[in-house]
Amino acid sequence: MRDDELDITDIGQRAHPGPVPGDALIDTAVHDAYRRALTHREGVVADYIPILGAADPEAFGLCVADVDGGLHEAGQTRTAFSIQSISKAFVYALLCEGVGHHEVRELVGVDNTGLAFNSVVAIEQAGGHPRNPMVNAGALATTALIPGATAERKWQFILDGLSRFAGRELEIDDEVYRSESETNHRNRAIAQLLHSYGRMRFDPAETVDVYTRQCSVRVDARNLAVMGATLADGGVNPVTRDQVVSADVCRDTLAVLAASGLYERSGEWLFEIGLPGKSGVAGGLVTIAPGKAGIGTYAPPLDAAGNSVRGQIATANLSRTLGLNVFASSPAPHRQEHHG
């Protein structure tokens, strides 16, 4: 195991796959996962965006939202933080709903880069193609394609869509937005590089500004769980019952998340947890159990790839104890052999 690799191979007892248990069992599992993760002190709070460095390293919230509308919570689930890169997943879904499967796949891509989320090398290696919407290059290309003739209309489309996913009206964190705007030099460079390859369908500077705004939207762990559960239930928000996007869009979004949602650690995450998810450098993590539930966590200390340490520990525990792993199976009942 690498020195910077989080060991999540032996967390929780594996349950057989099947329907999600009843409310009481989910509540027990959530509180157990919370207690186990709370003992972990690994990771470092992100500070390359100055305002993020002020986060409380001990803050921790965990919420499971099931597709029937049940909310199961432990810790600081109402502590607000900026959504950051988690927005990529939901803005991508909104774009797929508005533009369509084939065009988005061609323009943005679906393949993991195997490199850091803000890599410029990955763009050059792909001849200017963003590769996937979960890295910054792909997210900028996605934001540029959002419907709207002006930056303000694109931004309003995104904010309205994210609010529908969360089931409540979301707002921008102005302090985070200002801090990011003063330090987003690399994203500006990525946007210009994409523009030089003909991959930006909107003004690069304005696109970066809209993207910075979407990353600065304020959410909490409960919001993330509801947003994840919306993707888990074919695009229907479990709280409001609003059909936010289609079931086909959810399928496409979850496939992309499975491949690239945890950056260069996505393969390891899928191997150990077996669920599509998306992390953000403010400490948020959303995970989706298709047809069952969304899991939202908030814990600012991150591993070397930018993923919440406690969030990963808690989610791994829930995946195992609730039998959520999409790749898990159990032997079929014994079949009597027929002899001819």
pLDDT digits (tens, 9 = 90+) for 43-54: 999 998 899 999
Q: Is 230 exposed, middle or buried (0-12, 13-18, 19+ CB in 10 A)?
A: buried
User: Is 152 one of the annotated binding-site residues?
Assistant: no
Indicate which residue of 34, 92, 177, 211 is catalytic: 211
- Of 34, 177, 263, 298, the active-site residue reads 263
**23-81+220-321 and 86-215, same CATH topology:** yes
Catalytic-residue membership of 211:
yes
Arithmetic mean of pLDDT, 122-149:
73
Q: Residue 335: which pLDDT band, with cuts at 50, 70 and 90?
A: low
Mean pLDDT, residues 322-326 taken together: 93
Tell me whether residue 48 is one of the annotated catalytic residues: no
Is 281 labeled as ligand-binding?
yes
In the β-sheet with 61-66, what is the strand arrangement from edge to edge? 71-75, 61-66, 293-298, 284-289, 277-279
> Is 263 an annotated catalytic residue?
yes
The answer to whether 124 is a known ligand-binding residue is no
- 97 in a labelled binding site: no
pLDDT for residue 262: 86
Is 136 annotated as belonging to a binding site? yes
Question: Is 187 labeled as ligand-binding?
Answer: yes
- Region 86-215: CATH code: 3.40.710.10
* Exposure string for 99-108, b = 16+ CB within 10 A, e = fewer: beeeebeebb
From the list 34, 82, 85, 179, the catalytic residue is 85
Rounded Cα gap, residues 211 and 91, in angstroms: 10
Tokens of 215: 């990353």
Q: Which of 281, 286, 309, 326 is catalytic?
A: 281
Residue 85 annotated in active site? yes
- CATH tag for 23-81+220-321 (out of 3.40.50.300, 3.40.710.10, 3.40.1350.10, 3.40.50.1970): 3.40.710.10
Mean pLDDT (the chain, rounded): 86
The pLDDT, as a whole number, for residue 104 is 66
Q: What is the pLDDT of residues 153-210, one digit of tens each?
A: 999 999 999 999 999 999 999 999 999 999 999 889 988 888 887 888 899 999 999 9
What confidence tier does 304 reach under pLDDT thresholds 50, 70, 90? confident
211 annotated as a binding-site residue = yes
Sorted by where each begins, the domain ranges of the chain are 23-81+220-321, 86-215
Contact 165, 228 (CB under 8 A): no
Return the pLDDT at 117: 57
Amino acid at position 27, single letter:
D
pTM for the structure as a whole: 0.88
- 278 as an active site residue: the answer is no
How far from chain centre, in Å, is Cα 322? 20
- Provide the residue type at 145 as one letter: L
